Amino acid sequence: MLTNRRKDALVAAVLVAPFLAIYLLVFVWPTIQMFGISFTDAPLIGSGEWVGLDNYARLDSDPRFRTAAWNTAYFVLLTVLPGTVVALLIALGVARLKGRLQAAVLALFFLPYILPVSVVYLIWDWVLNFQFGILMHVFDLLGIDRIPITKSRTWFMPAVGIVTIWWTAGFSILLFLAGLRSIPAEIYEAAALDSAGRWTTFRRITWPLLWPVTTLVFTIQLIAQLKIFDQVYLFSQGGRPNDNVVLVYYVFQRAFQQDQGGRAAAVAVTLFVLVVVVSVLQFTLLRMAGGRR
């Protein structure tokens, strides 16, 4: 007869095994391999010679890597803070509404988030179309010169940034709404009794109590945008891919178009480390934000 403890361990092993097997196969093993080949000159498929830190050393003088790093940083700047602010403002507006109107308005804001990125791309590519896009008609009406937005060096990143905010804001709005709902109504009633104004109430009550959610939204956005690829790739088709590269795009080009697995892996490792560092910061920050309550 097995003791309870041993029986528990046996059952647990069976229950955990399927997840653990997949985890090792698609998370742990590829991660180890990624680090491994980043020190070699391997092609995409197949092995290569050990080259030490060469792949990393070359990054510094690789203009396309510099473009990719800069574009990624620029994209983060364009989307993370603005996206958080836009979502907060919308959430504050939506939170005031009631019943069906609230559900309907929330659905309108949320719908883009639920769509595949390629659908978002096709819709916006049509809206921004230089010849027939509705935005260009609006530009004409306002007397602004038409701009080939997705082909323009200046406007590409800001435009893709705006589209990204439009696409993902629904998610952040949802988190802000959950945060707003968790603020007890009594606090607002007490503030109303003290005849606190709208701005004072926001600054003294809503904002501090919403701080943990704000931190969460901000850091989730930050991590997501460091990993940007899909939109940038899609909007670059037929445009200027080499001017628009971001980190993941660089990995894609090196590995899948130039068959340089080792050099691509060096950038993948860089991205990996970057995301891990930011995630650790996020974890610490969230703990602090939670502790403030």
Q: Is 264 in the site for another protein (CB under 8 A)?
A: yes
* Nearest Cα residue to 221 out of 120, 111, 87, 90: 87
Q: Is 208 in the site for another protein (CB under 8 A)?
A: no
What are the respective helix, strand and coil percentages of the chain, to the nearest 5?
80, 0, 20
Q: What is the DSSP letter of 145?
A: P
Q: Give whichever of 54 and 259 is closer to another protein, judged by the CB atom.
A: 259
Q: Is 70 in the site for another protein (CB under 8 A)?
A: no
Choices 49-57, 65-73, 99-107, 148-156; region in contact with another protein by CB under 8 A = 99-107
* Nearest Cα residue to 293 out of 195, 190, 192, 179: 179
Listed in sequence order, the residues at least 6 apart from 170 whose beta carbon sits closer than 8 Å to its beta carbon are 109, 110, 111, 112, 113, 114
Q: Figure out which of the listed residues 88, 222, 245, 271 binds another protein, where binding follows CB under 8 A.
A: 271
Choices 52-60, 67-75, 153-161, 222-230; region in contact with another protein by CB under 8 A = 222-230
Give the shortest CB-277-to-another protein separation in angstroms.
9
Q: Figure out which of the listed residues 252, 259, 285, 289 binds another protein, where binding follows CB under 8 A.
A: 252
Give the shortest CB-136-to-another protein separation in angstroms.
10
Choices 30-38, 51-59, 146-154, 202-210; region in contact with another protein by CB under 8 A = 30-38
For residues 172 to 201, the per-residue mask of contacts with another protein, x marking binding by CB under 8 A and - elsewhere, is --xx--xx------------------x---
Residue ranges in 6-25 that form contacts with another protein under rule CB under 8 A = 8-9, 11-13, 15-16, 18-20, 22-23, 25
Q: Is 281 in the site for another protein (CB under 8 A)?
A: no
Q: Give the 3-state secondary structure of residue 129.
A: coil
Give the shortest CB-235-to-another protein separation in angstroms.
11
For residues 130 to 159, the per-residue mask of contacts with another protein, x marking binding by CB under 8 A and - elsewhere, is -xx-x--x----------------------
One-letter identity of residue 55: N
Let me know: does 215 contact 285? Beta carbons within 8 Å. yes
Q: Give whichever of 51 and 213 is closer to another protein, judged by the CB atom.
A: 213
Q: Give the 3-state secondary structure of residue 13.
A: helix
* Nearest Cα residue to 68 out of 249, 197, 203, 191: 249
Let me know: does 58 contact 184? Beta carbons within 8 Å. no
Alpha-carbon gap, residue 179 to 210, rounded angstroms: 6
Q: Give whichever of 77 and 134 is closer to another protein, judged by the CB atom.
A: 134
Let me know: does 146 contact 130? Beta carbons within 8 Å. yes
Give the shortest CB-132-to-another protein separation in angstroms.
5
